Amino acid sequence: MEPEYVRIFDTTLRDGEQTPGVSLTPEEKLEIAFQLDKLGVDVIEAGFPSASKGEERAVKEIANAGLRAQVCALARALTSDIDAALRCDVKYVHTFISTSEVQMKYALNMTPEQVIEAAVSSVQYIKDHGAFCEFSPMDATRTDMEFLKRVCKAAEEAGADYINIPDTVGIMTPKSMEKLIRELKSFLKVPLSVHCHNDFGLAVANSLAGVEGGATQIHVTVNGLGERAGNAALEEVVLALHLLYNKKTKINTRLIYETSKMVSRLTGVVVQPNKAIVGENAFAHESGIHTRGVVVKPITFEPFSPELIGRQRKLIAGKHAGRHGIKATLEEVGLHPTEEQLKEIVERIKELGDKGKMVTDADLLAIARAIMGTTAEEKIVELADLAVITGVRVIPTASVKLIIDGKEYVAAETGVGPVDAAIKAIQKITDSLANVRLKEYRLEALTGGSDAVAEVIIKVEDKDGNIVSARGAREDIVMASVEAMINGINKILSKRFRKT
């Protein structure tokens, strides 16, 4: 059967901007509007012009930006609000008025008859000005059914082109939403839309149920932004419509991830990592069983390909990671460890994981580079033990035990800090063997936090002018420096042995 079409009405710039703490400049709103247009939404609700002069300017700019999408402005059922919307040159006005008993009484202080009258005259006013009119009975899902039908019928007869049913405080369930829309549909001719809030985490499910009941349009926001717990998330609604409900939209799903990133950057609202579709972890696999599965056949542990929404799969190195996932991640960036090196990398990753450290891709690469920097035959000098003392009234001191050719050597040194002391102690032991001088030392903390993996990159030179660079990567800066120094000495020594 040919999939049916569902209209995507995006309200990121209106309800989304009502997210606590979010306020966009007119320039930022325009930037988002261009992206939504590229994404393929049918309607962009650009704002609420009567809210402020800046809002009016933003809506006007978006309305005149030559977008393919219809640009809509929100207005209360008041002539002054509708005039403000029309001044912005929009050809689509979304007008609303509360219809639940509690809101009519306490938020509007109006009688039901006055509400019907205001709804009808607003719809007529919009139509008289030649604009497309969408009408919302606010708090519809807590409105007495008979009254809701009366208001909707009156709006339809006044000329409304769409009636939108808001679940303003998000109290519906998928079953009750489907039933409500089905009942309204059997009674009205005008097409129906749904606008669901996420107070119980059901906004997406309720929106989809609304479509099953006969709604042909869904109000959504990027990343599920919106008042309180937000609105139905565009990305979740669209993917579910396409892949689970056999429906069509005009959305170019490949632009979903970049749109989510842009909206998050401009609004300052961070997307939770485990959020469906666009969360950082949505296509990240850590456990060995999963990584092995997705490397061989992605469908084993992915419902759809991340490329469909413009993303890439991520294999995470952590304590649950397996050799396959780690190997695949390294191969993706052109690193091909030997079996021996891979074993050591996996052990180091698991050690970090056991300490409760989250291992990022950058950490993995630093550790791999440090381990792969020395081949097994280059391991002439090995670290057996290290102890450092440092403090305010203490001279930083390090004692180092190295194994060279199966024999143990111990030395202690002082320095300006523990790194300096440890490197001097290593030089003391290896002096007669290698006589290396530290030419360059660079330290990089790869991830945030005081437990970040530190990568030390050094250049060492011996008395014959041989120069090599080497790396070390550990959560402990002294250990990373010692590892880099020993790797450097080993490289110099193997260079010399190869020459002789």
Rule CB under 5 A: which residues touch Zn ion? 15
With CB atoms as reference, the residue minimizing the distance to ligand KIV is: 166
Find which of Zn ion, ligand KIV, none residue 325 binds, CB within 5 to 8 Å per kind. Answer: none
For the bound state, the minimum distance from the C-beta of residue 17 to ligand KIV, rounded and expressed in Å, comes to 11
Nearer to ligand KIV, 131 or 163 (CB): 163
Residue for token pair 């996420």? 198
In a 10 Å sphere around its CB, with 0-12 CB exposed, 13-18 middle and 19+ buried, how is residue 445 labelled?
middle
CB of 450 to Zn ion, least distance (A): 42
Task: Tell me which residues touch ligand KIV (CB under 6 A).
Answer: 15, 96, 136, 138, 166, 168, 195, 197
Q: Binding partner of residue 283 among ligand KIV, Zn ion, none, CB under 5 to 8 Å per kind?
A: none
Among ligand KIV, Zn ion, none, what binds residue 136 when CB lies within 5 to 8 Å by partner kind?
A: ligand KIV
Closest distance to Zn ion from the beta carbon of 18 (Å): 7
Residue 100 or 329 having the CB closest to ligand KIV: 100
**Which of ligand KIV, Zn ion, none does residue 210 bind (CB under 5 to 8 Å by kind)?**
none
- The distance of closest approach from Cβ of residue 12 to Zn ion in the complex, given in angstroms and rounded to an integer, is 12
Residue among 195 and 247 whose Cβ is closer to ligand KIV: 195
User: What amino acid occupies position 478?
Assistant: V
Q: Are 336 and 304 in contact (CB under 8 A)?
A: no
User: In whole angstroms, how close is the CB of 97 to ligand KIV at the nearest point?
Assistant: 9
CB of 47 to ligand KIV, least distance (A): 12
Phi/psi of residue 352, nearest 5 degrees: -65, -45
Cα angle 463, 492, 465; round to 5: 30
Residue among 223 and 374 whose Cβ is closer to Zn ion: 223
6 DSSP 8-state letter: -
Give the one entry of Zn ion, ligand KIV, none that residue 29 binds, where binding means its C-beta sits below a cut-off of 5 to 8 angstroms depending on kind: none
Rounded to a whole number of angstroms, the minimum distance from the CB of residue 354 to Zn ion is 46
- Smallest distance from ligand KIV to CB 445, Å: 45
- Give the residue among 418, 363, 364, 408 at the shortest CA–CA distance from 383: 408
Calpha distance 51→55 (Å, rounded): 7
Residue 138 touches which of ligand KIV, Zn ion, none (CB < 5 to 8 A by kind)?
ligand KIV
CB 259 within 8 A of CB 39: yes
Closer of 136 and 206 to ligand KIV (Cβ): 136
Provide, rounded to whole angstroms, the least separation between the CB of residue 269 and ligand KIV: 18
Closest CB to Zn ion among residues 100, 329: 100
CB 135 within 8 A of CB 123: yes
Which residues are CB-neighbours of 240 under 8 A, at least 6 positions away? 204, 208
Task: State which residue, 16 or 337, has the beta carbon closest to Zn ion.
Answer: 16
Residue 96 interacts with, from Zn ion, ligand KIV, none (CB under 5-8 Å by kind) = ligand KIV
Closer to ligand KIV by Cβ: residue 120 or 163: 163
List, in sequence order, every residue forming a beta bridge with 7; answer none if it has no partner: 217
**59-67: long-range contacts, CB 8 A cutoff, minimum separation 24:** 59/85, 59/88, 59/90, 60/87, 60/88, 60/89, 61/26, 61/29, 61/30, 62/13, 62/29, 62/30, 62/33, 63/88, 63/89, 63/90, 63/91, 64/89, 65/30, 65/33, 65/34, 67/33, 67/34, 67/37
Please identify, using beta-carbon distances, which residue of 138 and 381 lies nearer to ligand KIV. 138
Joined together, the tokens standing for residue 469 give: 């660079």
Token readout for 377 is 């035959």
List C-alpha distances in Å: 66 to 34, 60, 74, 96, 131: 10, 11, 19, 26, 17
| Closest residue to Zn ion, based on beta-carbon distance | 15
| Proportion of the chain in helix, strand, coil states, percent, rounded to 5 | 45, 20, 35
